[in-house]
Amino acid sequence: MFDYFYFNFDTILSGAMDRFFESSGFLCEERTPWNKKQSPQQINEILEDIWREGRTYREQQLFAECFPFARERDLGVYKDTPVYDIALADEDIRKYKSDPKVPDVQAKIFQHTIKFQVDNMAKILMLLKEIQPQVRVFMVLLPKYKEVEDVEKFYNRTWKAFFMNIIHELKKDFAFELLDFKDYESFSAKKENYRDLTHLGIDGAVKFTEHLSDLLLHQYGLDLLF
């Protein structure tokens, strides 16, 4: 989970929608006009509008695996390229500090989205419980780069209370733990842990995963399972 306004955000209603479909394949999502059965030809016509040339070979390959019925591209024009970790640049930090931007999803309340996301979280927790009644669920709030966390604390005073109230209500019906790392400043203050202002880089993800694993094993007793 990325922030206290988690339930207020819906990827499918954002500008990242096309990339989300390409990687996740929610062609039958109920919030889209594609929620009815369609022929491969009809789906191809839809994908033609979304799919753009210039994706990496791996993205093309993943897309083909998810949608084997889709129109085939000439993969001969693509080639594998190494994936490099992107580091958070000092210039990006400077620009943000001089003119901090707060996204609409954090400055506005989308009631329909909140209800939709909370209902789906309950469905996920119910499904996990049905699959394995003894399952232990941990929700994790990841830290953004410290400069961003500091700026957003003003808005998060409201969102945190709102978020925690939702968590409190969910806990009445489901057993899970919330691990909040938003104030994990010994980690978030190090720009080498980030690829941009809000996302961990490869090294940062490894460090955070190791810390989280250690916490789960020793503080929450998961070491008893091994």
**For 79-106, how does the pLDDT look when each residue is reduced to its tens digit (9 = 90+)?**
344 455 688 999 999 999 999 987 778 8
Domain extent listing, the chain: 12-77, 90-225
Task: Tell me: pLDDT of 71 over 50.
Answer: no
SS3 29: coil
Q: Which two tokens stand for residue 182?
A: 């938003």
Q: How confident is the model at residue 107 (pLDDT cuts 50, 70, 90)?
A: confident
The closest alpha carbon to 103, from 55, 143, 151, 45, belongs to 151
105-121 burial, b if ≥16 CB within 10 A, otherwise e? bbeeebeebbebbeeeb
**For 157-215, how does the pLDDT look when each residue is reduced to its tens digit (9 = 90+)?**
889 999 999 999 999 999 999 999 999 999 999 999 999 999 999 999 999 999 999 99
Contact 193/187 with Cβ under 8 angstroms?
A: yes
Global pTM exceeds 0.75:
no
SS3 194: strand
Average pLDDT over residues 141-161: 92
List, in sequence order, every beta strand (DSSP E) within the chain: 137-141, 176-180
Contact 164/6 with Cβ under 8 angstroms?
A: no
Task: Tell me: pLDDT of 74 over 50.
Answer: no
The closest alpha carbon to 21, from 52, 42, 54, belongs to 52
Distances (CA, A) of 122 to 29, 177, 196: 18, 14, 31
The C-alpha torsion from 160 through 163 and 167 to 169, rounded to 10°, is 120
Is 204 exposed, middle or buried (CB count within 10 Å of its CB: 0-12, 13-18, 19+)? buried
Higher pLDDT, 221 or 142: 142
